[in-house]
Structure 1
Amino acid sequence: MIVLYEHPLSPYVQKIKIALREKGIEFESKAPEFSGGGFGGSEFLQANPRGEIPALLDGDAKIFDSTIILEYIEEKWTEPQLLPSNPLERARARTIEDVMDTYYEPINWGLGEINFFGRAKGELAETIVGNAKEQAAKCRQWLTKQLGDREWFNGDRFGWSDLCIVPHLNLSSTVFGIALEANSPLADWFKRVNVRPSVAQTLQEAKDSLAGLDQFSHLIEQGLFKREYRDHRLEWMIRMGGLQVVLDGIEKDNIRFSYDLA
Protein backbone atom coordinates (compact mmCIF):
# COMPACT_ATOMS: atom_id res chain seq x y z
CA MET A 1 0.00 0.00 0.00
CA ILE A 2 1.29 3.45 -0.90
CA VAL A 3 1.70 5.79 2.06
CA LEU A 4 1.17 9.53 1.63
CA TYR A 5 2.33 11.84 4.40
CA GLU A 6 0.02 14.80 4.20
CA HIS A 7 -2.17 17.49 5.66
CA PRO A 8 -5.50 17.79 3.82
CA LEU A 9 -5.38 21.60 3.55
CA SER A 10 -2.08 21.67 1.65
CA PRO A 11 -2.59 22.35 -2.09
CA TYR A 12 0.62 20.43 -2.76
CA VAL A 13 -0.93 17.41 -1.06
CA GLN A 14 -4.30 17.89 -2.75
CA LYS A 15 -2.95 17.64 -6.29
CA ILE A 16 -1.27 14.33 -5.41
CA LYS A 17 -4.45 12.92 -3.90
CA ILE A 18 -6.51 13.97 -6.92
CA ALA A 19 -4.01 12.32 -9.28
CA LEU A 20 -4.00 9.07 -7.27
CA ARG A 21 -7.79 9.00 -7.19
CA GLU A 22 -8.10 9.74 -10.89
CA LYS A 23 -5.89 6.73 -11.57
CA GLY A 24 -7.71 4.53 -9.07
CA ILE A 25 -4.65 4.00 -6.88
CA GLU A 26 -5.35 3.17 -3.24
CA PHE A 27 -3.20 4.88 -0.64
CA GLU A 28 -2.89 5.31 3.10
CA SER A 29 -2.83 8.83 4.47
CA LYS A 30 -0.58 9.59 7.42
CA ALA A 31 -0.02 12.80 9.33
CA PRO A 32 3.60 13.52 10.26
CA GLU A 33 4.38 14.11 13.90
CA PHE A 34 5.31 17.50 15.32
CA SER A 35 9.04 17.57 15.93
CA GLY A 36 11.54 20.40 16.40
CA GLY A 37 9.01 23.10 15.58
CA GLY A 38 7.93 21.46 12.31
CA PHE A 39 6.79 18.18 10.87
CA GLY A 40 8.84 15.17 11.93
CA GLY A 41 8.85 11.49 12.75
CA SER A 42 11.59 9.10 11.68
CA GLU A 43 9.75 7.47 8.75
CA PHE A 44 8.56 10.82 7.44
CA LEU A 45 11.97 12.46 7.67
CA GLN A 46 13.57 9.47 5.97
CA ALA A 47 11.17 10.08 3.08
CA ASN A 48 11.65 13.86 3.13
CA PRO A 49 14.61 15.22 5.09
CA ARG A 50 13.37 18.74 4.32
CA GLY A 51 10.46 18.10 6.68
CA GLU A 52 7.85 19.24 4.17
CA ILE A 53 4.61 17.61 3.07
CA PRO A 54 3.82 15.71 0.94
CA ALA A 55 6.08 12.68 1.01
CA LEU A 56 5.27 9.42 -0.77
CA LEU A 57 6.37 5.92 0.21
CA ASP A 58 5.94 3.19 -2.39
CA GLY A 59 7.71 0.08 -1.17
CA ASP A 60 11.38 1.02 -0.95
CA ALA A 61 10.80 4.24 -2.89
CA LYS A 62 10.77 7.41 -0.81
CA ILE A 63 9.87 10.51 -2.81
CA PHE A 64 9.37 14.15 -1.89
CA ASP A 65 8.44 17.38 -3.68
CA SER A 66 4.90 17.44 -5.04
CA THR A 67 5.93 17.90 -8.67
CA ILE A 68 8.35 14.98 -8.57
CA ILE A 69 5.73 12.82 -6.83
CA LEU A 70 3.21 13.75 -9.50
CA GLU A 71 5.68 12.84 -12.24
CA TYR A 72 6.41 9.51 -10.53
CA ILE A 73 2.69 8.69 -10.39
CA GLU A 74 2.21 9.62 -14.04
CA GLU A 75 5.16 7.53 -15.21
CA LYS A 76 4.43 4.46 -13.08
CA TRP A 77 0.67 4.33 -13.60
CA THR A 78 0.19 5.52 -17.15
CA GLU A 79 -3.61 5.26 -17.38
CA PRO A 80 -5.54 7.42 -17.46
CA GLN A 81 -2.94 9.78 -18.85
CA LEU A 82 -2.89 13.11 -17.05
CA LEU A 83 -0.25 14.90 -19.10
CA PRO A 84 -1.12 15.76 -22.72
CA SER A 85 0.64 13.78 -25.44
CA ASN A 86 1.88 16.81 -27.37
CA PRO A 87 5.28 18.08 -26.11
CA LEU A 88 4.21 21.72 -26.34
CA GLU A 89 1.01 21.03 -24.42
CA ARG A 90 3.02 19.15 -21.80
CA ALA A 91 5.25 22.18 -21.39
CA ARG A 92 2.16 24.36 -21.07
CA ALA A 93 0.72 22.10 -18.35
CA ARG A 94 3.99 22.18 -16.40
CA THR A 95 4.13 25.98 -16.74
CA ILE A 96 0.65 26.29 -15.27
CA GLU A 97 1.65 24.00 -12.40
CA ASP A 98 4.73 26.09 -11.66
CA VAL A 99 2.74 29.34 -11.69
CA MET A 100 0.19 27.94 -9.27
CA ASP A 101 2.80 26.42 -6.96
CA THR A 102 5.14 29.40 -6.78
CA TYR A 103 3.03 32.46 -7.64
CA TYR A 104 -0.49 31.66 -6.44
CA GLU A 105 0.30 29.38 -3.48
CA PRO A 106 1.94 32.12 -1.41
CA ILE A 107 -1.20 34.25 -1.77
CA ASN A 108 -3.26 31.69 0.10
CA TRP A 109 -0.40 30.89 2.44
CA GLY A 110 0.03 34.59 3.30
CA LEU A 111 -3.70 35.09 3.84
CA GLY A 112 -3.56 32.13 6.21
CA GLU A 113 -0.77 33.82 8.13
CA ILE A 114 -3.02 36.84 8.65
CA ASN A 115 -6.45 35.24 9.07
CA PHE A 116 -5.56 32.05 10.94
CA PHE A 117 -2.41 32.94 12.83
CA GLY A 118 -2.76 36.69 13.40
CA ARG A 119 0.68 37.63 12.08
CA ALA A 120 -0.51 41.19 11.36
CA LYS A 121 -3.26 43.45 12.67
CA GLY A 122 -4.90 46.70 11.69
CA GLU A 123 -3.45 48.74 8.85
CA LEU A 124 -0.62 46.30 8.15
CA ALA A 125 -3.06 43.41 7.81
CA GLU A 126 -5.30 45.48 5.53
CA THR A 127 -2.32 46.34 3.31
CA ILE A 128 -1.18 42.74 2.97
CA VAL A 129 -4.69 41.41 2.33
CA GLY A 130 -5.44 44.14 -0.20
CA ASN A 131 -2.23 43.44 -2.10
CA ALA A 132 -2.97 39.72 -2.02
CA LYS A 133 -6.40 40.20 -3.57
CA GLU A 134 -4.95 42.38 -6.35
CA GLN A 135 -2.34 39.74 -7.14
CA ALA A 136 -4.96 36.98 -7.13
CA ALA A 137 -7.10 38.95 -9.58
CA LYS A 138 -4.17 39.33 -11.98
CA CYS A 139 -3.38 35.64 -11.80
CA ARG A 140 -7.00 34.76 -12.52
CA GLN A 141 -6.92 36.97 -15.59
CA TRP A 142 -3.88 35.01 -16.75
CA LEU A 143 -5.66 31.72 -16.04
CA THR A 144 -8.68 32.88 -18.04
CA LYS A 145 -6.41 33.44 -21.04
CA GLN A 146 -4.90 29.99 -20.57
CA LEU A 147 -8.33 28.39 -20.49
CA GLY A 148 -9.57 30.20 -23.58
CA ASP A 149 -12.44 28.26 -25.15
CA ARG A 150 -11.26 24.89 -23.81
CA GLU A 151 -13.49 22.75 -21.64
CA TRP A 152 -10.50 21.87 -19.46
CA PHE A 153 -7.15 23.56 -18.98
CA ASN A 154 -5.64 20.29 -20.16
CA GLY A 155 -7.64 20.45 -23.41
CA ASP A 156 -10.61 18.22 -24.20
CA ARG A 157 -10.32 16.21 -20.99
CA PHE A 158 -9.46 16.74 -17.33
CA GLY A 159 -5.77 16.40 -16.56
CA TRP A 160 -2.55 17.69 -15.09
CA SER A 161 -3.24 21.41 -15.46
CA ASP A 162 -6.70 21.16 -13.92
CA LEU A 163 -5.65 19.22 -10.84
CA CYS A 164 -2.79 21.65 -10.25
CA ILE A 165 -5.09 24.69 -10.36
CA VAL A 166 -8.19 23.61 -8.48
CA PRO A 167 -6.65 23.20 -4.98
CA HIS A 168 -5.41 26.81 -4.99
CA LEU A 169 -8.65 28.34 -6.29
CA ASN A 170 -10.68 26.29 -3.83
CA LEU A 171 -8.64 27.67 -0.94
CA SER A 172 -9.09 31.22 -2.19
CA SER A 173 -12.82 30.85 -2.77
CA THR A 174 -13.99 28.64 0.08
CA VAL A 175 -11.58 29.69 2.82
CA PHE A 176 -10.59 33.29 2.07
CA GLY A 177 -13.70 34.50 0.25
CA ILE A 178 -12.03 35.56 -3.00
CA ALA A 179 -14.89 34.58 -5.27
CA LEU A 180 -14.56 34.01 -8.99
CA GLU A 181 -16.42 36.36 -11.32
CA ALA A 182 -19.91 34.93 -11.76
CA ASN A 183 -20.76 33.33 -15.13
CA SER A 184 -17.17 33.72 -16.33
CA PRO A 185 -15.42 30.91 -18.25
CA LEU A 186 -13.21 30.37 -15.21
CA ALA A 187 -16.23 30.14 -12.90
CA ASP A 188 -17.91 27.65 -15.25
CA TRP A 189 -14.76 25.51 -15.28
CA PHE A 190 -14.65 25.76 -11.48
CA LYS A 191 -18.15 24.29 -11.22
CA ARG A 192 -17.28 21.45 -13.60
CA VAL A 193 -14.05 20.53 -11.87
CA ASN A 194 -15.43 20.51 -8.34
CA VAL A 195 -18.07 17.88 -9.07
CA ARG A 196 -15.48 15.33 -10.20
CA PRO A 197 -15.38 12.62 -7.49
CA SER A 198 -11.59 12.87 -7.09
CA VAL A 199 -11.78 16.62 -6.54
CA ALA A 200 -14.95 16.63 -4.43
CA GLN A 201 -13.55 14.07 -1.98
CA THR A 202 -10.24 15.91 -1.69
CA LEU A 203 -12.00 19.25 -1.19
CA GLN A 204 -14.23 17.82 1.53
CA GLU A 205 -11.21 16.48 3.39
CA ALA A 206 -9.64 19.94 3.20
CA LYS A 207 -12.78 21.58 4.58
CA ASP A 208 -12.98 19.05 7.40
CA SER A 209 -9.37 19.80 8.37
CA LEU A 210 -10.12 23.49 9.02
CA ALA A 211 -11.48 22.58 12.44
CA GLY A 212 -8.00 21.41 13.46
CA LEU A 213 -6.25 24.70 12.74
CA ASP A 214 -6.75 25.88 16.32
CA GLN A 215 -4.09 23.44 17.48
CA PHE A 216 -1.60 25.01 15.07
CA SER A 217 -2.40 28.50 16.38
CA HIS A 218 -1.68 27.44 19.95
CA LEU A 219 1.50 25.62 18.95
CA ILE A 220 2.73 28.64 16.96
CA GLU A 221 2.04 30.99 19.86
CA GLN A 222 4.19 28.76 22.07
CA GLY A 223 6.91 28.41 19.44
CA LEU A 224 6.31 24.65 19.27
CA PHE A 225 5.40 24.77 15.59
CA LYS A 226 7.07 27.10 13.14
CA ARG A 227 5.59 28.08 9.79
CA GLU A 228 8.08 27.68 6.97
CA TYR A 229 9.09 30.91 5.22
CA ARG A 230 10.93 29.61 2.19
CA ASP A 231 11.74 31.04 -1.25
CA HIS A 232 8.49 32.22 -2.86
CA ARG A 233 6.68 32.62 0.48
CA LEU A 234 9.39 34.78 1.99
CA GLU A 235 9.59 36.90 -1.15
CA TRP A 236 5.82 37.25 -1.26
CA MET A 237 5.44 38.43 2.33
CA ILE A 238 8.10 41.08 1.85
CA ARG A 239 6.68 42.20 -1.52
CA MET A 240 3.19 42.52 -0.05
CA GLY A 241 4.48 44.87 2.66
CA GLY A 242 4.96 42.33 5.44
CA LEU A 243 8.67 42.64 6.19
CA GLN A 244 7.76 43.38 9.80
CA VAL A 245 5.85 40.08 9.92
CA VAL A 246 9.05 38.26 9.00
CA LEU A 247 11.14 40.19 11.51
CA ASP A 248 8.61 39.57 14.29
CA GLY A 249 8.55 35.86 13.47
CA ILE A 250 12.33 35.66 13.65
CA GLU A 251 12.36 37.50 16.98
CA LYS A 252 9.63 35.26 18.44
CA ASP A 253 11.25 32.17 16.90
CA ASN A 254 7.96 30.92 15.47
CA ILE A 255 8.94 30.90 11.81
CA ARG A 256 11.61 28.80 10.18
CA PHE A 257 13.47 28.48 6.92
CA SER A 258 14.30 25.32 4.97
CA TYR A 259 16.11 22.57 6.85
CA ASP A 260 19.55 21.42 5.79
CA LEU A 261 19.58 17.98 4.23
CA ALA A 262 21.08 15.28 6.43
Structure 2
Amino acid sequence: MAAEGSRLFLHNHPVSPYAVKVRIALREKGIPFDSKTPEGLGSETGMQSLRAANPRVEVPALEDGDLKIFDSKVILEYLEDKYPDRPLLPRDAAGRAKARMIQEVCDTHYEAINWGVSEVRIMKRATGGLAEKMINAAKSQTNELLSWLETQLGDADYFHGDSFGFADICVIPYVNRRRAGGFSPADGGPLQKWLTRVDDVPSVKEMRDEIAKAMKTFPQNIKDAFKPGTGRRREYRDHRLEWMVKSGGVDIITQGLKDDTIRLSWPSTSKL
Protein backbone atom coordinates (compact mmCIF):
# COMPACT_ATOMS: atom_id res chain seq x y z
CA MET A 1 0.00 0.00 0.00
CA ALA A 2 2.72 2.48 0.97
CA ALA A 3 5.63 3.13 -1.36
CA GLU A 4 9.23 3.56 -0.27
CA GLY A 5 9.80 7.10 0.94
CA SER A 6 6.09 7.86 1.25
CA ARG A 7 4.03 8.50 4.36
CA LEU A 8 3.46 5.56 6.64
CA PHE A 9 0.13 3.77 6.27
CA LEU A 10 -1.77 2.52 9.31
CA HIS A 11 -4.51 -0.09 9.25
CA ASN A 12 -6.54 1.48 12.00
CA HIS A 13 -9.72 1.56 14.03
CA PRO A 14 -10.64 4.63 16.12
CA VAL A 15 -11.83 2.54 19.08
CA SER A 16 -9.12 -0.15 19.21
CA PRO A 17 -6.79 0.57 22.18
CA TYR A 18 -3.93 -1.07 20.30
CA ALA A 19 -4.44 1.27 17.35
CA VAL A 20 -4.90 4.21 19.74
CA LYS A 21 -1.42 3.61 21.17
CA VAL A 22 0.13 3.72 17.72
CA ARG A 23 -1.74 6.86 16.66
CA ILE A 24 -0.65 8.72 19.79
CA ALA A 25 2.96 7.58 19.35
CA LEU A 26 3.04 8.67 15.69
CA ARG A 27 1.67 12.10 16.60
CA GLU A 28 4.00 12.53 19.56
CA LYS A 29 6.93 11.80 17.28
CA GLY A 30 5.60 14.11 14.57
CA ILE A 31 5.49 11.32 11.98
CA PRO A 32 3.01 11.92 9.13
CA PHE A 33 0.81 8.96 8.29
CA ASP A 34 -2.31 7.94 6.43
CA SER A 35 -4.81 5.46 7.78
CA LYS A 36 -7.94 3.53 6.95
CA THR A 37 -10.35 1.45 8.98
CA PRO A 38 -10.80 -2.02 7.48
CA GLU A 39 -14.23 -3.41 6.84
CA GLY A 40 -15.58 -6.23 8.97
CA LEU A 41 -15.42 -4.73 12.49
CA GLY A 42 -12.67 -7.07 13.63
CA SER A 43 -14.01 -10.23 12.01
CA GLU A 44 -12.21 -12.33 9.42
CA THR A 45 -14.08 -10.46 6.70
CA GLY A 46 -11.64 -7.55 6.84
CA MET A 47 -10.12 -6.12 3.68
CA GLN A 48 -7.60 -8.24 1.85
CA SER A 49 -5.04 -5.46 2.29
CA LEU A 50 -5.26 -5.95 6.06
CA ARG A 51 -4.90 -9.71 5.74
CA ALA A 52 -1.80 -9.14 3.61
CA ALA A 53 -0.34 -6.89 6.31
CA ASN A 54 -1.37 -9.03 9.27
CA PRO A 55 -2.36 -12.71 9.01
CA ARG A 56 -4.18 -12.35 12.34
CA VAL A 57 -6.56 -9.91 10.58
CA GLU A 58 -6.22 -7.43 13.45
CA VAL A 59 -5.50 -3.74 13.68
CA PRO A 60 -3.13 -2.08 13.97
CA ALA A 61 -0.80 -2.99 11.15
CA LEU A 62 1.76 -0.54 9.83
CA GLU A 63 3.16 -0.33 6.31
CA ASP A 64 6.42 1.46 5.67
CA GLY A 65 7.23 0.97 2.00
CA ASP A 66 7.35 -2.77 1.42
CA LEU A 67 7.69 -3.48 5.14
CA LYS A 68 4.53 -4.65 6.89
CA ILE A 69 4.50 -4.79 10.69
CA PHE A 70 1.77 -6.00 13.01
CA ASP A 71 1.30 -6.11 16.80
CA SER A 72 1.23 -2.74 18.54
CA LYS A 73 4.20 -3.62 20.76
CA VAL A 74 6.37 -4.35 17.75
CA ILE A 75 5.14 -1.24 15.95
CA LEU A 76 5.99 1.03 18.90
CA GLU A 77 9.47 -0.47 19.17
CA TYR A 78 9.95 -0.01 15.42
CA LEU A 79 9.00 3.66 15.67
CA GLU A 80 11.48 4.11 18.52
CA ASP A 81 14.24 2.44 16.48
CA LYS A 82 13.59 4.25 13.22
CA TYR A 83 12.74 7.68 14.63
CA PRO A 84 15.09 8.11 17.62
CA ASP A 85 15.20 11.92 17.52
CA ARG A 86 11.99 12.23 19.55
CA PRO A 87 12.24 9.25 21.92
CA LEU A 88 9.25 8.08 23.92
CA LEU A 89 11.09 5.45 25.96
CA PRO A 90 13.37 6.56 28.81
CA ARG A 91 17.10 6.40 28.16
CA ASP A 92 17.96 4.26 31.20
CA ALA A 93 17.54 0.49 31.25
CA ALA A 94 15.40 0.46 34.40
CA GLY A 95 13.01 3.07 33.01
CA ARG A 96 12.68 1.20 29.72
CA ALA A 97 11.97 -2.06 31.50
CA LYS A 98 9.30 -0.38 33.64
CA ALA A 99 7.62 1.09 30.54
CA ARG A 100 7.56 -2.26 28.77
CA MET A 101 6.20 -3.98 31.87
CA ILE A 102 3.38 -1.45 32.13
CA GLN A 103 2.60 -1.97 28.45
CA GLU A 104 2.45 -5.73 28.92
CA VAL A 105 0.04 -5.48 31.87
CA CYS A 106 -2.25 -3.04 30.07
CA ASP A 107 -2.23 -4.87 26.73
CA THR A 108 -3.14 -8.19 28.30
CA HIS A 109 -4.90 -7.95 31.67
CA TYR A 110 -6.44 -4.47 31.33
CA GLU A 111 -7.49 -4.95 27.70
CA ALA A 112 -9.16 -8.25 28.52
CA ILE A 113 -11.30 -6.66 31.23
CA ASN A 114 -12.39 -3.77 29.01
CA TRP A 115 -13.12 -6.12 26.15
CA GLY A 116 -15.08 -8.46 28.43
CA VAL A 117 -17.24 -5.59 29.69
CA SER A 118 -18.08 -4.72 26.09
CA GLU A 119 -18.99 -8.34 25.38
CA VAL A 120 -21.47 -8.21 28.25
CA ARG A 121 -22.82 -4.67 27.92
CA ILE A 122 -22.77 -4.15 24.16
CA MET A 123 -22.85 -7.64 22.69
CA LYS A 124 -25.22 -8.93 25.40
CA ARG A 125 -23.35 -12.22 25.68
CA ALA A 126 -24.59 -12.40 29.27
CA THR A 127 -27.75 -11.09 30.90
CA GLY A 128 -29.37 -11.05 34.33
CA GLY A 129 -27.43 -12.46 37.25
CA LEU A 130 -24.53 -13.68 35.14
CA ALA A 131 -24.06 -10.25 33.59
CA GLU A 132 -24.11 -8.63 37.03
CA LYS A 133 -21.59 -11.15 38.35
CA MET A 134 -19.22 -10.56 35.42
CA ILE A 135 -19.45 -6.76 35.62
CA ASN A 136 -18.75 -6.87 39.36
CA ALA A 137 -15.73 -9.09 38.70
CA ALA A 138 -14.52 -6.62 36.08
CA LYS A 139 -14.85 -3.70 38.50
CA SER A 140 -12.89 -5.54 41.19
CA GLN A 141 -10.17 -6.53 38.74
CA THR A 142 -9.96 -3.00 37.33
CA ASN A 143 -9.55 -1.53 40.81
CA GLU A 144 -6.70 -3.95 41.45
CA LEU A 145 -4.97 -2.86 38.24
CA LEU A 146 -5.54 0.82 38.99
CA SER A 147 -3.96 0.32 42.40
CA TRP A 148 -0.93 -1.33 40.77
CA LEU A 149 -0.64 1.49 38.25
CA GLU A 150 -0.71 4.03 41.08
CA THR A 151 2.31 2.33 42.61
CA GLN A 152 4.10 2.59 39.26
CA LEU A 153 3.19 6.28 38.97
CA GLY A 154 4.17 7.18 42.52
CA ASP A 155 4.39 10.92 43.13
CA ALA A 156 5.42 11.78 39.58
CA ASP A 157 3.34 13.79 37.12
CA TYR A 158 3.77 11.11 34.46
CA PHE A 159 4.93 7.50 34.48
CA HIS A 160 8.41 8.62 33.36
CA GLY A 161 8.64 11.59 35.70
CA ASP A 162 7.98 15.10 34.44
CA SER A 163 7.19 14.37 30.78
CA PHE A 164 4.55 12.43 28.85
CA GLY A 165 6.04 9.30 27.30
CA PHE A 166 5.86 5.66 26.33
CA ALA A 167 4.20 4.24 29.46
CA ASP A 168 1.60 7.02 29.53
CA ILE A 169 0.74 6.19 25.91
CA CYS A 170 0.30 2.54 26.89
CA VAL A 171 -1.97 3.29 29.86
CA ILE A 172 -4.28 6.02 28.54
CA PRO A 173 -6.27 3.93 26.01
CA TYR A 174 -7.38 1.53 28.72
CA VAL A 175 -8.14 4.02 31.48
CA ASN A 176 -9.93 6.21 28.93
CA ARG A 177 -12.05 3.27 27.71
CA ARG A 178 -13.82 2.91 31.06
CA ARG A 179 -14.22 6.33 32.63
CA ALA A 180 -17.59 5.79 34.29
CA GLY A 181 -19.69 3.19 36.04
CA GLY A 182 -17.18 2.29 38.74
CA PHE A 183 -14.18 1.86 36.43
CA SER A 184 -12.43 5.22 36.84
CA PRO A 185 -9.51 6.04 39.16
CA ALA A 186 -10.52 7.31 42.59
CA ASP A 187 -11.40 11.00 42.71
CA GLY A 188 -8.52 13.07 43.98
CA GLY A 189 -6.05 10.19 43.79
CA PRO A 190 -2.71 10.32 41.97
CA LEU A 191 -4.01 8.39 38.96
CA GLN A 192 -7.02 10.67 38.60
CA LYS A 193 -4.72 13.71 38.72
CA TRP A 194 -2.51 12.03 36.11
CA LEU A 195 -5.57 11.48 33.92
CA THR A 196 -6.46 15.18 34.13
CA ARG A 197 -2.95 16.13 33.06
CA VAL A 198 -2.88 13.63 30.22
CA ASP A 199 -6.24 14.86 28.91
CA ASP A 200 -4.50 18.16 28.08
CA VAL A 201 -1.91 16.49 25.83
CA PRO A 202 -2.84 17.39 22.21
CA SER A 203 -2.39 13.85 20.85
CA VAL A 204 -4.66 12.51 23.61
CA LYS A 205 -7.28 15.17 22.91
CA GLU A 206 -7.26 14.15 19.25
CA MET A 207 -7.61 10.49 20.23
CA ARG A 208 -10.58 11.22 22.50
CA ASP A 209 -12.31 13.21 19.75
CA GLU A 210 -11.84 10.32 17.32
CA ILE A 211 -13.28 7.83 19.79
CA ALA A 212 -16.23 10.06 20.71
CA LYS A 213 -17.14 10.42 17.05
CA ALA A 214 -16.87 6.67 16.41
CA MET A 215 -18.90 5.74 19.49
CA LYS A 216 -21.98 7.50 18.12
CA THR A 217 -22.53 4.49 15.85
CA PHE A 218 -20.01 1.82 16.86
CA PRO A 219 -21.93 0.05 19.68
CA GLN A 220 -25.02 -0.63 17.59
CA ASN A 221 -23.03 -1.42 14.46
CA ILE A 222 -20.89 -4.01 16.18
CA LYS A 223 -23.86 -5.55 17.98
CA ASP A 224 -25.68 -6.02 14.68
CA ALA A 225 -22.57 -7.23 12.84
CA PHE A 226 -21.99 -10.31 14.98
CA LYS A 227 -25.47 -11.75 15.23
CA PRO A 228 -25.75 -15.49 14.51
CA GLY A 229 -26.00 -16.13 10.80
CA THR A 230 -23.97 -13.10 9.72
CA GLY A 231 -20.82 -15.15 9.12
CA ARG A 232 -18.79 -12.73 11.25
CA ARG A 233 -16.97 -13.90 14.37
CA ARG A 234 -15.43 -11.96 17.25
CA GLU A 235 -11.87 -12.93 18.14
CA TYR A 236 -11.52 -14.65 21.52
CA ARG A 237 -7.76 -14.86 21.92
CA ASP A 238 -5.46 -15.82 24.81
CA HIS A 239 -6.03 -13.24 27.58
CA ARG A 240 -9.64 -12.65 26.50
CA LEU A 241 -10.40 -16.35 26.78
CA GLU A 242 -8.75 -16.42 30.20
CA TRP A 243 -10.84 -13.47 31.38
CA MET A 244 -14.06 -15.14 30.24
CA VAL A 245 -13.18 -18.37 32.02
CA LYS A 246 -12.14 -16.81 35.34
CA SER A 247 -15.05 -14.36 35.35
CA GLY A 248 -17.79 -16.95 34.86
CA GLY A 249 -18.20 -16.92 31.09
CA VAL A 250 -17.34 -20.49 30.10
CA ASP A 251 -20.86 -21.02 28.76
CA ILE A 252 -20.52 -17.84 26.69
CA ILE A 253 -17.53 -19.35 24.92
CA THR A 254 -19.38 -22.62 24.32
CA GLN A 255 -22.45 -20.82 22.98
CA GLY A 256 -20.38 -18.54 20.78
CA LEU A 257 -18.63 -21.50 19.20
CA LYS A 258 -21.98 -23.20 18.69
CA ASP A 259 -23.50 -20.07 17.13
CA ASP A 260 -20.35 -19.46 15.08
CA THR A 261 -20.06 -15.89 16.39
CA ILE A 262 -16.57 -16.19 17.91
CA ARG A 263 -13.22 -17.25 16.49
CA LEU A 264 -9.84 -18.18 17.91
CA SER A 265 -6.56 -16.60 16.86
CA TRP A 266 -4.62 -17.32 13.70
CA PRO A 267 -3.71 -19.92 12.58
CA SER A 268 -6.76 -21.52 14.23
CA THR A 269 -9.23 -19.55 12.13
CA SER A 270 -11.11 -22.42 10.49
CA LYS A 271 -14.69 -22.79 11.64
CA LEU A 272 -15.05 -25.22 14.53
Q: TM-score range, shorter-chain basis?
A: over 0.9
Q: Deviations over 1:207-227 (max 9, x none)?
A: 211123222211101433211
Question: What runs of 5+ residues in structure 2 fail to find an aligned partner?
Answer: 1-6
Match runs of 1:138-153 below 5 Å: 138-153=144-159
Q: CA deviation at 1:37?
A: 4.2
Match runs of 1:175-186 below 5 Å: 178-186=183-191
Distance in 1 (CA, whole Å) between partners of 2:245 and 2:212 is 29
Aligned match of 1:192 in 191, 194, 197?
A: 197
Question: In 2, are the aligned partners of 1:223 and 1:252 still within 8 Å (CA)?
Answer: no
Question: In 1, are the aligned partners of 2:139 and 2:182 still within 8 Å (CA)?
Answer: no
How has the CA–CA distance of structure 1 residues 36 and 18 changed in structure 2, closer, same or farther, with 3 Å as cutoff? closer
Q: CA deviation at 1:36?
A: 10
Q: CA deviation at 1:28?
A: 1.0
Aligned length: 261
Please state whether the residue corresponding to 1:33 is helix, strand or coil: coil
Question: In 2, are the aligned partners of 1:49 and 1:261 still within 8 Å (CA)?
Answer: no
Does 2:266 align with 1:259?
A: yes
Higher relative contact order at CA 8 Å, sep ≥6: structure 1 or structure 2? 1
Please state whether the residue corresponding to 2:51 is helix, strand or coil: helix
For 2:250, the aligned partner's letter is: L
Identity among equivalent positions (%) equals 44
Q: Report the counterpart of residue 109 of structure 1 in structure 2.
A: 115
Q: Deviations over 1:8-47 (max 9, x none)?
A: 1111000100000001111111111229942522221111
Distance in 1 (CA, whole Å) between partners of 2:134 and 2:42 is 29
Q: Report the counterpart of residue 125 of structure 1 in structure 2.
A: 131
Distance in 1 (CA, whole Å) between partners of 2:45 and 2:92 is 39
Q: Report the counterpart of residue 249 of structure 2 in structure 1.
A: 242
Q: Report the counterpart of residue 19 of structure 2 in structure 1.
A: 13
Q: In terms of mean alpha carbon deviation, does 147-156 or 158-167 score higher?
A: 147-156
Question: In 1, are the aligned partners of 2:61 and 2:71 still within 8 Å (CA)?
Answer: yes
> Which is richer in helix?
1
Please state whether the residue corresponding to 2:57 is helix, strand or coil: coil
Does 2:207 align with 1:212?
A: no
Question: What runs of 5+ residues in structure 1 fail to find an aligned partner?
Answer: none
TM-score by length of 2: 0.92
Please state whether the residue corresponding to 1:202 is helix, strand or coil: helix
Question: In 2, are the aligned partners of 1:228 and 1:256 still within 8 Å (CA)?
Answer: yes
TM-score by length of 1: 0.95
Please state whether the residue corresponding to 1:49 is helix, strand or coil: coil
Q: Deviations over 1:35-60 (max 9, x none)?
A: 99425222211110110110001111
Which consecutive segments of 4 or more residues in structure 1 shift more than 4 A?
none
How has the CA–CA distance of structure 1 residues 49 and 124 changed in structure 2, closer, same or farther, with 3 Å as cutoff? same
Q: Report the counterpart of residue 233 of structure 2 in structure 1.
A: 226
How has the CA–CA distance of structure 1 residues 224 and 59 changed in structure 2, closer, same or farther, with 3 Å as cutoff? same
For 1:170, the aligned partner's letter is: N
